[in-house]
Amino acid sequence: MTTPTRRRMRSSSISLGITALMASSLTGCSSSADYAAVCVDPDTQERVDDDQCDDDSDYNGGGSGFFWYYLGASSRIPAVGQTTSGGTFSGSSLNGTVQRGGLPSTGGSTVKSATTKGGFGGSSRGFG
């Protein structure tokens, strides 16, 4: 006859990554940009794929190639292949947050989405 072994109640082991990381630095988050850039051929004003643009310098009115073209928050986003206007090639002159590339290749309504915030999270009460 064997002695019944007692149940064990505790966790077998604890491995943690994020928890310790968070304990060492509690961080905040970003929100959506004020300007966003699409890649454009200055000769035709036509939007091309983002990966055609890899030059960090702004277009200065001469030479050839593709350059980042910055659109303001309320601008319509052109699809790749469409012409664009109303923005600027002078990225270094902008005040505000800038997102370079990553806009939908099919275009869209505006640079800044219609999303509004603040509809949750107004409570100042503790939970727990």
Contact 47, 38 (CB under 8 A): yes
Query: How far apart (Å, rounded) are the C-alpha atoms in residues 45 and 84?
Result: 6
For another protein, which is the closer residue by CB, 1 or 18? 18
For another protein, which is the closer residue by CB, 29 or 64? 29
Site of interaction with another protein (CB under 8 A):
5-12, 14-20, 22-24, 26, 29-32, 109, 113-128
Q: How far apart are CB 5 and another protein at their closest, in Å?
A: 5
Residue partners of 42: CB distance under 8 A and separation at least 6: 59, 66, 67, 89
End-to-end CA distance of the chain: 48
User: Which single residue is written with the structure tokens 């002078």?
Assistant: 90
Q: How far apart are CB 81 and another protein at their closest, in Å?
A: 23
For another protein, which is the closer residue by CB, 62 or 119? 119
Q: How far apart are CB 77 and another protein at their closest, in Å?
A: 13
Q: How far apart are CB 15 and another protein at their closest, in Å?
A: 7
For another protein, which is the closer residue by CB, 8 or 62? 8
Q: For 83, which DSSP code?
A: B
Tell whether the torsion through CA atoms of 76, 82, 87 and 88 is positive or negative: positive
